[in-house]
Structure 1
Amino acid sequence: MKKYIFISFLIIKSTIWAQSALYNGGTFQLHENANVGFHTDLINDGVFNQNTGLVGFYNEGVLFFQGTQSISLFDTEFAAQGNLFLENTINIGNNANFIFGNVNASQENVNSTLNFEVNSFFTGEANDSKVIGFTSVNEVTTFSFPIGDEEQLRSLVLNSTSVSEFANAAYFFESPNGPNSYNQTFDIDTKIRDIGFITNNEFWVLNNDTASNITVSWNLRSDLAQIATVVEDIILVGWSKVSNQWTSLGNTDFAGDLNEGFITSDTFNPADYSAITFGTRPLPLDTFATNNPTLGNYFISPNEDGTNDFLIFDNLEDTGPNQLFIFNSLGQKVFQMTNYTNEFNGVSNIDNFVINRELGLEEGIYYYALSLFDLNLSYQGFLFLDR
C-alpha cells in the first residue's frame, strides 16, 4: 500500500512567477524532518540541494519542473494526476515514492531526467506511476529502471559485472523502424544471419559502459506471436553502433509463454548498442529437416499465368546459403545457381549446352539437387516442365 503525505503548507524564500509557479532564485535547503509540498509548478534558477527532508509534488492536474538548475532531493513523493513534466533534472538522494501519475522526463536522452544517486531507491512503481523517458542511476551493480510509456510500466533490470558509474534507460512503445519520440531509426530488416525476425512494436535504449546483462518482460501488447512460434526461440537483439545492424544479445534465462514472460540476455557491453528489443533465433538446424524430410517433386508451367511459373522451395530464404543444380533426363546439367531464391522458370543458364536458350528448355522430366550448407542438408527430386 502506498503511504504518502499531502502537504499544503510551504515555506520558501521565493517570489511568485506569473502567479502560477513558485520561483527560486536563491538558496533553498530542507533539513531533517522538514516536509514541503509543491501544488503548483516549480521554477529553479538557484541552489536547491543538500536536502534531508521530504518534498512532494501534488496536484490533480499537470505540474512542471522548470528552470536552469537541477534540484537534489532526499525523500520525494510524486502524486500529480496529470503527470509531472521535467524540463531539468531531479536528483534523488534516498527514496522516490511513486503514488499516482507519471514523471515525464526527456525522451531524447538530454539533461531532463529523474536521476537516482548512490544508494537511492524507489517504491510504488506501477502502470499509472513510473517514468516516461530517461531515468538514470549512479554507482550500482543492479538496478531496475522504473520506465514505461503512457500506458504501461516496462522495467529494464540492469545487472552489471562490476559497479556501473552511470547508466540511463528509456522505453518506447513505437516501431524501431521510425519512432516518433526518438531521433534515430533501427531498420528491423537489417540484421545478422543469426537472427530470424525482429519485433516492430517496441524497444529500449540503455546507455552504460560496463559489461552487463539485462532482463526485460513482454506481455500481450508486445505481440511476440507475430515473430515466434515457441517461446524458446525468443532472444534479445541490439542495434550495433559499429555495424549499424541488429545483432544477437542472446537468451540465458527466460520464463513464460508467447503471451507473457521475461528474458535475460547474455553479458554484453551496452555502450556498443543504440537500441534493444525482441528478436528470434533463425530456424533451428533441425527444423527445416524435420518439416521437410524430402522436398518432393515439382511441376512448373512457365507460361506467365502467375501459377507454377517458377520452381519454388518454400521457406528456402530462412536456411542460409545454398546451391541448386538441375539436370535433364540424360544427366546433363542445364541450370546452376548459388543462393537460389526461386528464379528457375524453365530457362537454362549453362552457356555451353543449350542452343536457343531464350526459347526455354524442352518439356519433360528434370532432376534437381539442392544443398543447404549451414544446415548440412542435401535434397534431390524430380520436376516436370510443361510447355
Structure 2
Amino acid sequence: MKYTVYIFIFIFSIASFGQTALYNSGNLRIHEEGKIGFHTDLINDGPFDENSGLAGFYGSEPITVSGALTPVLFDVEIFNNSGVLLNTSLAITNNTDFFLGDFISPRNNPSISYSYLQNAFSTGASDNSKVDGYTSLSGQQNFAFPVGDGEQLRPLILDSNWVNSMALCAYFFEDPNNPSTFPGFNTEIKPRDIFGVSNIEFWRLEGSVLSRVTLSWNARSNLAGLTSDVNSITVMGWSKASSQWVNLGRESLAGDLAEGIVRSAPFIPDDYEILTFGSADEPEELLALEDYYLSPNGDGINDFLEIPELELSPNNRLEIYDRRGLKVFQMDNYRDEFRGISNVDNMVLNRNIGLPEGLYFYIISLDDLGLNFQGFLFLER
C-alpha cells in the first residue's frame, strides 16, 4: 500500500505573488512505496535525489519547478491540465506515467529538460500529455522521445548503434526558414536530387552516437503539399558542415500522404542542426499490399495476421509500427505469429493484454526476391 508523505515545514507563501510553494533546502526523500503529491510550485535548493517512491503533479493550476538543484525522482505521474513548467531540469530514474497535461521546458534553453536517466522510460504519452519542449536521456541506446507541442505528440524514435552518454530532442511546429529560437534554415538550399523540404515542422536532435531515427507524419504535416509521391519521402538534416539540407536516407517507409512513418539511414545527430521531411529523387520502390483487419478474440476469424505473399519468400522480415512510429512487432521468417501482442522491448503498456485497438503500419522485406511491401493493419479489440 502506498502512503503519502506530507511535509508542512517546507510550505511557504511567496508574498509578491500570493501563491504557495514547497521549498526544499534540506534533504527531502521519498521512500519506497511513499508518495508525494504536488499541487503547488516546487523550489528545490537542497538534495532531492535518493528517491524510490512516487511523485505526482496534480490539480488544475500551473505548477512550476525551479531552484538551484535538479530534483531526481523515481516514479512520476502527471494529472494537471495546466501543465508543469520546468525552470530547472527534472530527472527521472524509473517510470513516467502521462495521464493529463504537459511537462513544459523552454525551447530557447536546451540546458533545461525533462531528463530520462539510465533505464528510465515512460508510458501513456498522448496529444493530451507529453513533453512540450526538450527531453534528454543518458545511458540508453534506444528511446522514444515523448515530445510535441501544445497540441500534438510528435515523437522521435532513436535507435543508436551503442549507448548514448547523452542525447537531447525537441519538436517544433514551425517553419525552419523562420524558426523562433534558431537562425533560419533555408529550405531552398539543397542538392538537385532533393525536390523539396518541409516548411511545416522540424525536430532538433543532439547525440554523438551513430543512430537511425523514425519520424511520423499526420494530416497537420501536410506532406501532400511537399510531394505527390509518398515513396519519395525521406529524412532531411541541416548539415552544420555544409550549411545546406542533406538527404539522410531511408531504410523503411509506410503509410500514405495523410499519415505514415519513415526510418532514416544511420547518421550522427550532432552533425546536423535540425531534422525534417523531404522529397527525394529516384525513390525506392515500395509495393503496396492489401490492408488487413485483425480481431484476436478467439473466435477463429481474423485471430492472427496471415499474409499469403510471404510464402513466396522464406527469407522475409515483418515489422509492425504504431501510428507514431513505435515498433511493436518484428519477426524474421514470419509464419502467422502476430496475434496483437508486442514482442519487442519498448514502452508498450500492459504488454500481456495486447496492443491497443487502432491503426498500425506494416513493412515486409522479401530478401531473396529483393522486394519491399508496406500497408495498413487495423487491430480491433
Q: Same fold (TM over 0.5)?
A: yes
Letter in 2 for 1:160: S
- 1:99 matched to 2:99? The reply is yes
Letter in 1 for 2:6: L
Deviations along 1:278-322, one digit per CA (max 9) or x if unpaired, are 01013779xxxxxxxxxxxxxxxxxxxxxxxxxxxxxxxxxxxxx
**Match of residue 237 from structure 1:** 236
1:143 is paired with a residue whose SS is: strand
1:232 is paired with a residue whose SS is: helix
Letter in 1 for 2:223: L
Matches of 2:33 and 2:135, distance apart in 1: 27
**Match of residue 277 from structure 1:** 276
- Among 2, 7, 10, the alignment partner of 2:6 is 10
**Match of residue 166 from structure 2:** 166
Matches of 2:25 and 2:189, distance apart in 1: 50
Does the CA-based 8 Å contact 2:4-2:35 persist in structure 1? no
State how many pairs are aligned: 279
Does the CA-based 8 Å contact 2:74-2:93 persist in structure 1? yes
* 1:59-208 matches, cutoff 5 A: 59-180=59-180, 182-208=181-207
1:48 is paired with a residue whose SS is: coil
Q: For CA contacts below 8 A with separation 6 or more, give which structure has more relative contact order.
A: 2
2:74 is paired with a residue whose SS is: strand
**Match of residue 40 from structure 2:** 40
Give the direction of change, closer, same or farther, for the CA distance of 1:153–1:277 in structure 2 (3 Å limit). Answer: same
Tell me how far 1:263 sits from its aligned partner: 0.2
Tell me how far 1:110 sits from its aligned partner: 2.7
**Match of residue 214 from structure 1:** 213
Does the CA-based 8 Å contact 2:64-2:84 persist in structure 1? yes
Matches of 1:254 and 1:284, distance apart in 2: 11
Deviations along 1:50-88, one digit per CA (max 9) or x if unpaired, are 111111111112111111211000011111110110000
Tell me how far 1:109 sits from its aligned partner: 4.3
Deviations along 1:158-215, one digit per CA (max 9) or x if unpaired, are 00011111101000000000112x2232111111223110111000000000000000
Matches of 2:86 and 2:156, distance apart in 1: 21
Does the CA-based 8 Å contact 2:5-2:34 persist in structure 1? no
Does the CA-based 8 Å contact 1:133-1:170 persist in structure 2? yes
Matches of 1:137 and 1:161, distance apart in 2: 15
Matches of 1:30 and 1:243, distance apart in 2: 49
Matches of 1:48 and 1:239, distance apart in 2: 39
* 1:331-350 matches, cutoff 5 A: none
Tell me how far 1:254 sits from its aligned partner: 0.5
Matches of 2:20 and 2:31, distance apart in 1: 26
Give the direction of change, closer, same or farther, for the CA distance of 1:108–1:250 in structure 2 (3 Å limit). Answer: same
Matches of 1:80 and 1:60, distance apart in 2: 5
Matches of 1:92 and 1:75, distance apart in 2: 7
Tell me how far 1:13 sits from its aligned partner: 4.5
Tell me how far 1:106 sits from its aligned partner: 2.2
Matches of 1:216 and 1:197, distance apart in 2: 17
Tell me how far 1:8 sits from its aligned partner: 7.7
Matches of 1:284 and 1:134, distance apart in 2: 33
Letter in 1 for 2:12: I
Does the CA-based 8 Å contact 2:39-2:57 persist in structure 1? yes
RMSD between aligned residues = 1.7
Does the CA-based 8 Å contact 1:17-1:23 persist in structure 2? no
Letter in 2 for 1:184: P
1:197 is paired with a residue whose SS is: strand
1:178 is paired with a residue whose SS is: coil
Give the direction of change, closer, same or farther, for the CA distance of 1:163–1:8 in structure 2 (3 Å limit). Answer: closer
**TM-score, normalising length from structure 1?**
0.70
**Match of residue 293 from structure 2:** none
Tell me how far 1:111 sits from its aligned partner: 2.5
Give the direction of change, closer, same or farther, for the CA distance of 1:135–1:284 in structure 2 (3 Å limit). Answer: closer
Bigger Rg, structure 1 or 2: 1
Matches of 1:123 and 1:109, distance apart in 2: 26
2:275 is paired with a residue whose SS is: strand
User: Which range moved further: 213-222 or 17-26?
Assistant: 17-26
Does the CA-based 8 Å contact 2:133-2:148 persist in structure 1? yes
Letter in 1 for 2:118: V
**Match of residue 261 from structure 2:** 262
Tell me how far 1:11 sits from its aligned partner: 2.1
Matches of 1:106 and 1:211, distance apart in 2: 27
1:184 is paired with a residue whose SS is: coil
Matches of 1:269 and 1:193, distance apart in 2: 23
Matches of 2:34 and 2:248, distance apart in 1: 47
Matches of 1:99 and 1:75, distance apart in 2: 13
Tell me how far 1:15 sits from its aligned partner: 4.3
Matches of 1:157 and 1:60, distance apart in 2: 31
Matches of 2:113 and 2:107, distance apart in 1: 9
Deviations along 1:126-158, one digit per CA (max 9) or x if unpaired, are 001000111001111110000001110000000
Does the CA-based 8 Å contact 1:13-1:24 persist in structure 2? no
* 1:291-370 matches, cutoff 5 A: none
Q: Identical aligned pairs, as a percentage?
A: 41
